[in-house]
Amino acid sequence: MNEQGSGPVSAGQEETVPRRLLAVATRLFAERGFDRTSVQEIVAAAGVTKGAMYHYFDSKDDLLYEIYGRILREQTERLEKFAATEAPVRERLVAAASDVVVSSIANLDDTKIFLQSMHQLNPDKQRAVRAERRRYHERFRALIEEGQRTGEFRTDQPADLVVDYFFGAVHHLGFWYHSDGALSARQIGDHFADLLLGSLRPSAA
């Protein structure tokens, strides 16, 4: 992003131009995919000119990169909120798992983009996003490992595999979830958390 992009712009308008562009791009990328969305469509929907867009963003790619940045920032913040409490590890994991589902549904556009547009980023940016994502996963994994150490969770499942397993399910939400389905976001979150917990419960024996 260009340096100018971040600061507040001409107070008085509730939405700055770069912010509006980001919002519009998020929606369009989710709807029809990055490659199928033209810069022309983005600026038209945002009500600005192409020149304005390129004043704030280096490229279409950069726009996507900023979206990834926002998503990762938001998700990391939320996870931290649930993972860092004083509650028992079991409860913290359930809360975090349920919340990531709820927020993935609340921001379904983000969820769809995350899954589908990684390959459209240029290699450098892709690496950066993957690295940040890895840190997020590691934070989540730490919760599982903590439970494994305390004996609450079974230890014959590699924690990182469980993380990939669970987040596969989460990312996939954008594929099938519809707001008019039988279950609310909250209910789905609780079910998913429960499925995760079930997988981690030590065998009966």
Partner DNA sequence: TATGAATGAGCCTTCATTCAT
Partner DNA sequence: AATGAATGAAGGCTCATTCAT
Establish if 168 lies at the interface with a copy of itself (CB under 8 A): yes
For 118, list phi and psi in degrees, rounded to 5: -55, -45
Contact with a copy of itself (CB under 8 A): which of 91, 175, 184, 186? 175
Going by C-alpha positions, the residue among 52, 46, 40 that lies closest to residue 22 is 46
Whole-angstrom Cα distance, residue 182 to residue 176? 12
Q: Which residues bind DNA (CB under 7 A)?
A: 2, 4, 9-10, 17, 36-41, 48-52, 54-56, 58-61
In whole angstroms, give the CA distance from residue 129 to residue 131: 5
**173 lies in the binding site for a copy of itself (CB under 8 A):** yes
Give the sign of the dihedral formed by CA 57, CA 63, CA 69, CA 71.
positive
The nearer residue to a copy of itself, 86 or 156, going by C-beta atoms, is 156
Please report whether residue 81 would count as binding a copy of itself according to CB under 8 A. Answer: no
Q: Show the binding pattern over residues 96-135: x = contacts a copy of itself (CB under 8 A), - = does not.
A: -------------------xx--xx---------------
